[in-house]
Chains A and B, each alone.
Chain A
Amino acid sequence: MKFAKKRGKTSPAISTASLPDIIFMLLFFFMVTTVMRSAEDKVSVSIPQATELTKLEKKSLVNTIMIGKPLKKYQSLYGTAPRLQLNDKISTVDDIPLFLEKHRVKVPENQRKKIKTSLKVDKDVTMGIIQDVKTQLRKSGQLAINYSARQKN
């Protein structure tokens, strides 16, 4: 009992000296994992759900084509029919080969075979435009694609 009394009297202050270190560690984690948004979305895309997903590994080897309805503020310019967005521009199917080539030259030669195209398509879009994109991709020799989807529970 003597022992317990003695301990209760001392008030140990928790050292906060290591707090900055902890916070810095978190900070570095987020700095490394963060990817600054390079392009502004001009089409609204809500991707569908699926179960058989694979992860896209290397970001630098992936180019993204978005398909969806133009956002409200762009509808006066581009209409309400689904369009595709390459980088930050609303484009047509004919712009795809140039878009792929531009991405291709940035990739080291020995890795060009591993380039994948990620299709971020709104779930309410009909297959017509997607078919046109697929045909164009096949013609351009870009055969590895990935239909972006979320995990279904």
Chain B
Amino acid sequence: MARDRLNNEVNAGSMADIAFLLLIFFLVTTTIASDKGITVKLPPWSNEEVDAAKLKTRNVFSVLVNADNQLLVRGEPARIEDLRERAKEFILNPQKREDLSEKPTKAIISLKNDRGTKYETYLSVYNELKAAYRELWDDEARKTLGKPYSDNLPLEARKKIRNKIPFVLSEAEPTAFGEEK
């Protein structure tokens, strides 16, 4: 009786060890879910190809990527590094040049690749084009709202900006010249 009354406390010292063990188990098995990527909306399926001939050539920013991962932008070889700046200039056309888009709402980016194009190249081209638009939206948001474009802006404001400079990217059926690996 006397002994019982003296130490009637459960020894919690080993609790930490048990918890540590479990913790280490979960630390090892866990893979922090970091699913990020470039979100793309595909056009609905239809058998008819969009006729690009109907569009004025000045409004189309064509980007071709061949099987050797080389770029052809509006008929001239180009580098991926320059793509963003060129796309931005094309969309806004600040100098009102004859050969660039009439206005941002009419600008269309046409992307065409080969079946032998490397995925990495394709994605970096897509990334650059998307980045060009994001930067333009950013500038627009700073001008009109005084803050950068982000998902924290109200939907209304974001829509307004995106309607002003709509992201139109049409992907043509790829060519099949290159070798697939």
Contacts and interface: CB of A to CB of B under 8 A. Distances in A.
Interface of A: 16-17, 19-20, 23-24, 26-27, 30-31, 33-37, 47-48, 50-56, 59, 62, 81-82, 116, 118-119, 121-131, 134-135, 137-139, 141, 143-151
Contacts of A34: 26, 29-31
B155 interface: no
B23 A146 contact: no
B50 interface: no
Interface of B: 12-13, 15-16, 19-20, 22-23, 26-27, 29-33, 35-45, 67, 113-120, 122-124, 126-127, 130-131, 134, 173-174, 176, 178-181
Name B's interface SS: mixed
Contacts of A125: 118-119, 181
Contacts of A56: 35-37
A137 to B, nearest CB: 6
Contact of A16 (B16, B38, B122, B131): B16
Nearest to A121: B119
A131 B80 CA distance: 21
Contacts of B119: 48, 121-127, 130
A129 B178 CA distance: 13
Contacts of A124: 118-120, 181
A146 B40 contact: yes
B14 to A, nearest CB: 9
B165 to A, nearest CB: 15
Contacts of B115: 126-128, 131
21 contacts: A27-B19, A27-B22, A53-B37, A54-B37, A118-B35, A119-B37, A123-B119, A126-B67, A126-B119, A127-B113, A131-B174, A143-B41, A143-B43, A143-B44, A144-B39, A145-B41, A147-B38, A147-B40, A147-B126, A148-B36, A150-B36
Contact of A33 (B30, B40, B131): B30
A48 B44 contact: no
A134 B181 CA distance: 18
Contacts of B45: 135, 138-139, 141
Contacts of A118: 35, 37
Nearest to B117: A127
B15 A20 contact: yes
A23 B158 CA distance: 43
A20 B127 contact: no
